[in-house]
Each structure stands twice: as C-alpha cells, then as structure tokens.
Amino acid sequence: MDVEQLVERVQDLQAQLESTGDLAPRELTEELVSAVVQMYGAGLERIVDSLLAAGSEGERIASSLAEDPLVATLLLIHDLHPVPLERRVQQALDSVRPYMESHGGNVELLSLENGVARIHLRGSCSDCSASSVTLELAIKQALEEAAPDLEGLEVEGIAAQSVPTGIELPVVTSGPVVAPSWFDAPAVASLADGSLAAVNVAGADLLVANVDGSLLAYRDHCPSCGARLHDGLLMAGALSCPECARSFFLPRAGRSMDDDRLQLDPVPLLREDGRVKVALAQ
C-alpha cells in the first residue's frame, strides 16, 4: 500500500469511528489510538535526537529521511521535522522561481512569523494576466508539498489578500478559470542547455526550451503567423519563428522583440526530484 492509499485508509477509518453511535466504545478506541500515536511519537523523538546529536552525518541522514513523504508526515505530526520551516519555505519558492522568471517576474520571501509566510511577487509577473495561475499552480503546490505545516500566507505584489489559517492560497481571477491538472513530461527532463524540444503532453503541442539551465514551456504556436516554433532558432534566450522570423524572448514570458502586442502562451512547468511536469487545462 503506497503513502496516499495509507493516508486515505487512516482517514476512512477515522470517519467510520466518528460515525459510530455507541459512545463508550468510540471513546475507548480514540483513547487507544491517541496512546499509540504518543508512543511512536516518543520513539521518533528519540531517533531524531540521536541523529542530530551525531553531528553533520547524523543531520544529513535525518534530512534525507525527511525527504520521504510518509516519514515527513510522521515527523510533522510530532513537530520533529529536522529541516526548519523557513528553509523549507525558501526551498519551495526556489523550486518555482524558473517559472516565475519565465513570466518576467520573481518571488521573494519577506518574512516568516508565527507560521505565516509573507511573500512578494516582483517584476512584470505581479501585474500580468497569468499571475493568478502562477500563484495557484506553482507556489501553492510547492508550499503544500514542502511545508504543509505552514499556517498561512500573505501575498504582496498583486491584489492584497491574506490567508490567516491553513495553506489554501488566494486565487485572483478576472473571469471563469478552468482548473488545470499536472502532467509528467519525461521527454524533456534531460534537455541540454540551449536546446529546444517539441512534445505532446495530454494532447497539447508544447515547445520546451532550456535557457541557461532553466526549462521554460510554451504552447508551440507563433502568435503572429500561427506556425509551430520548435524548428526556430534559439540564441541567448531569443527564439525566432521559422516562418515569419519574428523573435520572442523566452526568459521574459515569451514577449515579442519586434511587436509589444505579441507574446507566446507560457505553460507552468516544475522540476521535482528529477521529474518534469507541466500544467494544462483540460
């Protein structure tokens, strides 16, 4: 049984227990479960304390163990995660920074107090139409995975919003939005620097480029002539259409270098543990 199935099983059993009408057996069962949780929590605390007391190698082992989703969940339940919350939040933001930069922007952690992170979206990303999708897809997922114990998030650089409790991030929209889904794109995981690749993911034709070590994804469609772009010339981040020869600067959200009104259609892309995935609306 994998981690997700195990978590679902625990939640299902808990729901069944709570729906039981007989109060006495339910209270006894809850007390037993609580005692068992406290028992293995005390054991985990001794393990973590021993590892951290062993010096740098012990710290390395503890951090490595915490990378396992199931182990991380158990450590978080007992407030034993060896990696500080601020570092995990910063690592999460670092993981999505290439996508933020593909929109001509950036994200900065301003502060972390009382479990609430305050971040600032900088540059053109803070006012581009894709900023809400960036926030929902990239930052939200990265923080939920790396720091599920984060109690709230305050965002500057877009319409002022904050979330006092929980990790549900605000989504700023100007109209109906179809919630995208994440899909693996293994074909581009090893794409060389300065290279282009045309891939079809979930029926969508995409162009993926490696610019200075960052993978950037766009719809494979020229907004000027409609031609596919994957046979174009990529030089120093600028991609030229093979048909109309218009140039688009990929690190700045695919904006045209010839006509300010033209821009490529960027697609959210994340790298995680050697995997690459993109977000597409179905």
3-state DSSP helix/strand/coil % of the chain, to nearest 5 = 40, 25, 35
In a domain, 135, yes or no: yes
In contact, 253 and 101? CB cutoff 8 Å: no
In a domain, 139, yes or no: yes
| 108 and 61 fall within a common domain | no
| 189 and 272 fall within a common domain | yes
Question: Poorest-confidence range of 84-88, 156-160, 256-260?
Answer: 156-160
- Domain limit, last residue, from 52, 77, 102: 77
Is pLDDT of 206 > 90?
yes
In a domain, 17, yes or no: yes
Is pLDDT of 59 > 90?
no
In a domain, 43, yes or no: yes
Q: How far is CA 74 from the centre of its chain?
A: 21
Looking at residue 228, what is its pLDDT?
92
Considering the chain, what is the average pLDDT of its residues? 77
Residues 6+ apart with CB under 8 A from 95: 142, 146, 270, 271, 272
Mean pLDDT within 64-81 = 80
User: pLDDT tens digit string along 218-249?
Assistant: 999 999 899 999 888 988 888 999 989 889 98
User: pLDDT tens digit string along 5-44?
Assistant: 666 777 777 777 777 667 677 677 777 777 777 787 788 8
**Burial of 129: CB neighbours in 10 Å, binned 0-12, 13-18, 19+:** exposed
| 185 and 158 fall within a common domain | no
User: pLDDT tens digit string along 102-159?
Assistant: 666 678 889 998 888 888 877 654 444 444 555 556 777 788 778 888 888 887 765 4
Q: pLDDT over 90 for what percent of the chain?
A: 7
Looking at residue 160, what is its pLDDT?
40
Is pLDDT of 257 > 60?
yes
Task: List 263's β-bridge partners, or say none.
Answer: 255
Write out the residue range of the structural domain in which residue 57 sits: 3-77
| 122 and 186 fall within a common domain | no
In a domain, 150, yes or no: yes
Of residues 172 and 253, more confidently modeled: 253
In a domain, 175, yes or no: no
| 266 and 237 fall within a common domain | yes
Measured distance CA(30)–CA(118) in Å, rounded: 37
Looking at residue 282, what is its pLDDT?
60
Looking at residue 135, what is its pLDDT?
56
Looking at residue 107, what is its pLDDT?
82
Measured distance CA(108)–CA(140) in Å, rounded: 14
Total of domains in the chain: 3
| 93 and 133 fall within a common domain | yes
Of residues 258 and 177, more confidently modeled: 258
Mean pLDDT within 242-267 = 83
In a domain, 173, yes or no: no
Q: How far is CA 240 from the centre of its chain?
A: 30
